Structure 1
Amino acid sequence: KDYYKILGISRQATSATIRAAYRKLVRTWHPDRKPDHPKAEEIFLDIVEAYEVLMDEELRELYDQ
């Protein structure tokens, strides 16, 4: 998975940029906001996973290799 693409950010994104992108996307894709969208939960979970990896310096470094 391309976490940067999922969040719509560049590889040089700062933690503030990552956080802002995450917040915007979770508001849009939360399954409670899109109950009729068949992939809303899957997309939401991908967003959460991308955020968790990219916000953790060690995980992000491993991911970027």
Structure 2
Amino acid sequence: MGKIETTLKQYREEKGLTQKELAEKVGVRRETILHLENNRYNPSLELALEIARVFGVTVETLFKLKY
């Protein structure tokens, strides 16, 4: 199985959100956003969908499976 890579940090910074602000919008701790941005944690489907909704993009725009 491949590894998930993310462009989450880029989208968050472009929208002018802090990790804490994004975390509050999707109902997780700031540390969860930190771990997602550093590819140390794979999001659940529900969390990936919530984050994508915040940015108005598809899940595949934020998270890609690399082999």
Structure exhibiting the larger radius of gyration computed from Cα positions: 1
- Length-normalised TM-score, structure 2: 0.31
More contact order relative to length (CA 8 Å, sep ≥ 6): 2
Q: Which structure has greater helix proportion?
A: 1
Q: Which structure has greater strand proportion?
A: 2
